[in-house]
Homo-oligomer: A and B are copies of this chain.
Amino acid sequence: MTNPTAAMLVIGDEILSGRTRDANMHYLAGQLTERGIDLKEVRVVSDDREAIIAAVKALSETYDHVFTSGGIGPTHDDITADCIAAAFDDHIDVRDDARALLQAHYDRSGQDLNEARLRMARIPDSATLIENPVSTAPGFTLRNVHVMAGVPSVFQAMVASILPTLTGGAPLLSRTLPLMRGEGDLAGPLGKFAQEHPTLSVGSYPFQKDGIYGSNIVVRGTDAEELDAAMATLERLYSE
């Protein structure tokens, strides 16, 4: 059985201009790996209607799940929900269930549910809501696309709401062998080792420590026993 596949779509000019460093990609990658869902591709696009629609369509057709972050707040540059609806020819307007959540939230805090805040209740007709325990305004799932906020604390809460509802596969396990040798010294035997272990993913990641070049050899797979045996082979290989 192969694991479900996923892509992520990060939406926001602030990432592409270098103003903000994205934190959600790294978080989602770790969560999906634990859940046994294989993150295959990430795209970052600007707050541009045509760019968002094209990316959502392409990723939704290619992967089992698409996770988006950003662009669902109350300001004029928050256009994600409308773009998702357009991508799937769905109707979108303020929806009663989302409006009720926001009304209760702003009643409690004594704030006005004004026209701008009401934008956050714009949800496509066919979508189901994703709970937001941090700041109430919900995300939503439409077909295989899960639409979430860009603020990291809210994004993480929404991921926690949606992930348990998705069927995962075997979690990808990983083992690391750090070696104080440059990649050029260990690459020959490592390529042979990788060929002899076709069910495992074998990578090498160079680092520098106190001016010395080293390499982390990372082996990934879903079977713990197979991984442990492979690591023992690898250690023998490089202790010679």
Contact = CB atoms under 8 A, between A and B. Distances in A.
Interface of A: 10, 13-22, 25-33, 39-47, 51, 73-77, 111, 114-117, 119-120, 151, 153, 172, 174, 182-188, 190-191, 194-195, 201-206, 208, 218, 220
A17 B115 contact: no
Q: Considering residues A26, A73, A184, which has the most beta carbons from chain B within 10 angstroms of its beta carbon?
A: A184
A56 to B, nearest CB: 13
B14 A205 contact: yes
A21 to B, nearest CB: 4
Contacts of A119: 187
Q: Is the interface of A mostly helix, strand, loop or mixed?
A: mixed
B46 A40 contact: yes
Contacts of A33: 17-18
A22 B25 contact: yes
A32 to B, nearest CB: 8
Contact of A51 (B41, B75, B115): B41
A40 B47 contact: no
B16 A42 contact: yes
